[in-house]
Amino acid sequence: MTKPDYELVGDNYANTSLVPKDRDLVYRCKLCGGTIPSLPARSIGCGCGNVAIDKDCWRLYIGDYGSFEVLRRI
């Protein structure tokens, strides 16, 4: 299986309300390299905990905004 290719959508967000979400978008933590879908089926987070989504509350958590980016599958 090959890794999907991505293009950068954005990486300079001031707060979580500005972060886009869509079926083809993933969030990437630059600290651990983990990616999570922007619309997950369940609560999920990257390996180091810098980026996480609480599905029950539809809440996105970003610990370090400088180590966060949004990517689109191409």
Instruction: Give 6-37 pLDDT, tens digit per residue.
Output: 999 999 999 999 999 999 999 999 999 999 99
Which DSSP helix (H) or strand (E) runs through 74? none
pLDDT at residue 63, rounded to an integer: 96
Segment 42-68 shows an average pLDDT of 95
Give the strand pairing for 68-73 and 25-29.
antiparallel
pLDDT at residue 72, rounded to an integer: 97
Residue 2 confidence (pLDDT) above 60: no
| Mean pLDDT of all residues belonging to the chain | 93
Per-domain boundaries in the chain: 6-73
Model confidence, pTM: 0.90
Amino acid at 44: I
